[in-house]
Structure 1
Amino acid sequence: MTATRTRERGELFGPRFELFADMLIVGLATALAAAPVVTAPAALASACDLLRRRQLYAEPATAGRYAAALRARLRAPGGARRDLTAGVLLVAAVLLVAAYAALAGAGLPGAGLFAVALAAVAAAATVVGLRACALYGTPGPGPYGWGAAVRAAARRAAGDLPGSGLVVLALATAGACAWMLPPLLFLVPGPLALALTAVELRVEGSGR
């Protein structure tokens, strides 16, 4: 059941503003935790988990709680190995896409069609990966591990196209904000994690 709090008389900021502040704190903590790149999946998954618990149970989303959640995730049996493996696979996938994009830009025959197909595959994989981060470690048929989270995310991505479209829009918005104002790069993980969490809670609330 979602916990909510109404604004008291004379209170300057309501709970929505508190969510905004928590989102920025989580975003900054996530950006710092994801700086080594290979820790990015674990960092984003921890942010989504913290924001999910804030929405469902009204637990504060502070930098200290984020650090504790990330430590607990990495210290779980096999947790660090699984999370770092996911990070290495992420880096490998990005490099592979970059290599194929370079080939497409080299003017080879059929490069235009290949570039379109590559963009579609990369977009689909990105949506599945982001939705997996929002699912990893959350309650399900037992907590999702990365394998189960990716499979569940693939099913949801295909069965919930509006939600997948929202994920693409959230990622594009985050990227545009970071491109226009580079200092926002340290804050955009927060809004992105909030969007991913909201998309998954929307699916779960609809019973799909």
Structure 2
Amino acid sequence: MASASRSARETRQARNARLAATAAPKVNKFALLSETLLLGVCLFVLALPIVTAPAAYAAGAAHMERHIAGRPDTVASLWADFRAALPGSWKFGFALLGAGAVAAVNVLLAGSEQLPGGRLVLAATVLLAGGLAVLLLRAAGLWQAERERVAGLSGSTADAPPSAWPGAWAQAQRDSASDWIGTALLVAALAMCLTFLWMLPPLVFIVPGAMILAVVSVHYRHMGLQA
């Protein structure tokens, strides 16, 4: 009996040590809040053309991870990451622009009550738009890790390996399918941010930073579960 109890304690201790090794470092909450607000403004500007949104959010996720890890997190480094993320992100940006246009048209038609099955179209539009948004957010959060992995495999020191985005996109699909809780958390964060915008539109300058914080948090959680 004593041996079983000691074994259980050792198992818990090993699990706690493993989670501590993979957990995000502790940061000052006020510093994290201010960084989230500043990052939100920067990402709003970088993502303003819409087609640059994937690259902007990828740079934002890399920036937030550096801040949490206590590494240099200057605006210059954010700009450098944004420029590095642009190659290979254009097709995702144009896909986002096209999907947004289609979603807007569907919502307008469904709201006009002149489209047969308008409620069904509206529900399908919201579902597909939410799924695409979650996939793009996960891909943006994985871009930096995929960039480092590809650069390490190729032995290259290039800022933006062209194959980083396809790999991040493929991994985002796998993570979205396997980590249902993380996916649900991102959907909830996205819904909350959209609700905030509906209630108070000026929050559009802050919401991008909040979404990046959610993306990075889900990423850290997933790494902890995999360890």
Q: TM-score range by the shorter chain?
A: 0.7 to 0.9
Does structure 1 retain, via aligned residues, the 8 Å contact 2:24–2:220? no
1:189 maps to 2:214: no
- With normalisation by structure 2, the TM-score equals 0.74
Does structure 1 retain, via aligned residues, the 8 Å contact 2:40–2:208? yes
Does structure 2 retain, via aligned residues, the 8 Å contact 1:22–1:62? no
2:143 match: 136
Identity of aligned residues (%): 34
Does structure 1 retain, via aligned residues, the 8 Å contact 2:58–2:85? no
Q: Cα offset for 1:198?
A: 0.8
1:11 match: none
> Which secondary structure state, in structure 1, belongs to the residue aligned with residue 198 of structure 2?
helix
Q: Cα offset for 1:195?
A: 0.6
Does structure 2 retain, via aligned residues, the 8 Å contact 1:46–1:69? yes
Give the residue type in structure 2 aligned to 1:120.
L
Q: Which runs of 5+ in 1 are unaligned?
A: 6-13
Give the residue type in structure 2 aligned to 1:142.
V
2:32 match: 19
1:166-193 CA distance string (max 9 Å, x none): 1111112222222322222111111110
> Which secondary structure state, in structure 1, belongs to the residue aligned with residue 145 of structure 2?
coil
Q: Cα offset for 1:141?
A: 4.8
Kindly tell me the number of residue pairs found equivalent between the two proteins: 193
1:9 match: none
Q: Cα offset for 1:102?
A: 4.5
**More helix as a share of residues:** 2
For the structure 1 residues 164 and 25, does the alpha-carbon distance in structure 2 shift closer, same or farther, using more than 3 Å as the test? same
1:73 match: 85
Does structure 2 retain, via aligned residues, the 8 Å contact 1:22–1:61? no
Q: Cα offset for 1:116?
A: 2.5
2:73 match: 61
> Which secondary structure state, in structure 2, belongs to the residue aligned with residue 119 of structure 1?
helix
Give the residue type in structure 2 aligned to 1:163.
G
C-alpha RMSD over aligned residues: 2.4
Does structure 2 retain, via aligned residues, the 8 Å contact 1:53–1:59? yes
2:125 match: 118
Q: Which runs of 5+ in 2 are unaligned?
A: 1-20, 152-162
Does structure 1 retain, via aligned residues, the 8 Å contact 2:139–2:169? yes
Which one of 102, 107, 114 corresponds to residue 96 of structure 1?
102
Does structure 1 retain, via aligned residues, the 8 Å contact 2:99–2:129? no
Mapped to 1, the partners of 2:127 and 2:35 lie a distance apart of: 34
Give the residue type in structure 2 aligned to 1:196.
V
> Which secondary structure state, in structure 2, belongs to the residue aligned with residue 36 of structure 1?
coil
Mapped to 2, the partners of 1:195 and 1:63 lie a distance apart of: 20
Q: Cα offset for 1:97?
A: 2.5
For the structure 1 residues 147 and 26, does the alpha-carbon distance in structure 2 shift closer, same or farther, using more than 3 Å as the test? same
- With normalisation by structure 1, the TM-score equals 0.80
For the structure 1 residues 184 and 98, does the alpha-carbon distance in structure 2 shift closer, same or farther, using more than 3 Å as the test? closer
Give the residue type in structure 2 aligned to 1:96.
V
Does structure 2 retain, via aligned residues, the 8 Å contact 1:131–1:196? yes
Mapped to 2, the partners of 1:189 and 1:122 lie a distance apart of: 17
Q: Cα offset for 1:107?
A: 4.1
Which one of 171, 183, 197 corresponds to residue 178 of structure 1?
197
